[in-house]
Amino acid sequence: MVVYLARTLLLYIPNISHWLTPISNMTLVSNDPSWWPTISSNIFFSYWIVAAGVVVVYDWVLTLGQEIELILRQRWSLMTVLYLIIRYIGILYSVTNILQNMPLVSLTDAVSNITNYASNWTNVVVAAALDVIMIARLHAMYQRSRMMLIFLIIIFLAVNIACGVISAILLKHSVSEELILSGTYMCNYVSEEDDDQLLVSMIWTLNTVWEVLALCLSVWIAARHFCDLRRLGPSTGSTIGDCFGVLIKSHVLYFASFAGVSCLVLSDISPGLWNPYSMEFQILNSALQILLPVQMFVLGPRLILSVREYHAKLVANSDAETSMTSIVFQEHLHIPTSSTV
């Protein structure tokens, strides 16, 4: 249904190319039939880009009530800022991505370069914000251990600085050009270097290492706490078990999504693995356009909402203070070194 709506939307968008800047010197205009497979692939791809944007906006609408109650009406904190950054950058990113890939909208080379830079640096910033959220979760689960916090920040800085430098290298050697093929428009990004696929795989490998480490640390501490439940009273043990269950459930779901996206990206950039015009490749690439925004802009904010919602229910059902405020994202949660992250 989402793909059908996206296709309908694209078919009825008027051609607004005459409102935009005239064609630049780098624009390639061609009516050669040899381009038709490329045109067909681009149109099919654009349906899924629109569908991904619809999913991000639809999830925001679904969680708007929770956002108002659990985020905006609470005292502002680092998690509040991160939630709003990820959520609303995600909406802006989706709209920009739709315009960038619409076959009926003409973008000049300069605009294409700007949107390309914006999209890639958005990925870097959002990935760093998601890592900070994961650090806060792990720091809380490990009872605010200073040694664990220092260890996580070191890994965070190493991974994100490396990914930032690699992204800058990729963008430095990336050149965009507009293609006008049989009346349709396409932004084509060409790399001046031959090792761009290797650099992209390095970025995803580094992020995968971080996610695997975060998952292992979460499972390890959760297993320790579940083993200690028998030593605690029934009410406290149940509370701790339920809260850690919430943390692990949301983290495993997020990690599963990230693992799926990583596999798709690495297979997508593997040379010679796929025919770029085959239906299998187009389905693979289209699925990636859905999963990547969901992983960043849907599951990311839900990492915060899930724990805040649990704590809100816990407080509503209890007349006394609980011992679990140290492992939830409350408005008083503070990471001492957050200014350096």
Reported as a single tens digit per residue, the pLDDT across 326-336 is 444 444 444 34
* pLDDT grade for 10, boundaries at 50, 70 and 90: very low
Residue 161 or 198, more confident: 161
In DSSP notation, 243-285 reads HHHHHHHHHHHHHHHHHHHHHHHHHHSSTTSS-TTSHHHHHHH
Domain 26-322 CATH (choose: 3.30.410, 3.30.60, 1.10.510, 1.20.1070):
1.20.1070
Tell which wins on pLDDT, 138 or 316.
138
Per-residue model confidence (pLDDT) at position 184: 76
Q: Would you give the DSSP letter of residue 135? A: H
Q: Residue 124 carries which side chain, given as an amino acid letter?
A: V
| Nearest-angstrom CA–CA distance, 209 and 21 | 44
Neighbouring C-beta atoms of residue 2, cutoff 10 Å:
16
Cα torsion angle, 35, 39, 40, 45, sign? positive
Percentage, residues of the chain above pLDDT 70: 70
Average pLDDT taken over every residue of the chain: 74
Residues near 211 by Cβ (< 8 Å), separated by ≥ 6? Answer: 255, 258, 259
Q: Hey, what are 53's tokens?
A: 């944007």
Measured CA distances, 265 to 81, 164, 165, 259, 289 (Å): 29, 18, 19, 10, 10
Q: Which two tokens stand for residue 64?
A: 């708007």
pLDDT tens for 161-192 read: 999 998 888 888 777 767 777 777 777 666 65
Given a cut of 70, whether residue 159 has pLDDT beyond it is: yes
| pLDDT tens per residue, range 241-294 | 566 666 677 777 777 778 778 777 777 666 555 666 677 777 777 788 888 888
The single-letter code of the amino acid at 217 is L
Instruction: Name the more confident of 49 and 250.
Output: 49
Q: CA angle, corner 212, sides to 298 and 246, nearest 5?
A: 50
What does the pLDDT average to over 31-45?
78
pLDDT of amino acid 329? 44
Q: What is the pLDDT of residue 218?
A: 82
Dist CA 99 CA 107 (whole Å): 9
pLDDT score of 340: 33
Residues sharing a CB contact under 8 Å with residue 239, sequence separation 6 or more, in sequence order: 314, 322, 323, 324
Helix, coil or strand: residue 13: coil
Task: Report domain extents, the chain.
Answer: 26-322
Q: Which tokens is 3 given?
A: 């793909």
234 band by pLDDT with thresholds 50, 70 and 90: low
For helices 299-316 and 234-268, angle between their N-to-C axes, nearest 10 degrees = 170
Per mean pLDDT, which range of 23-27, 152-156, 327-331 is the poorest? 327-331
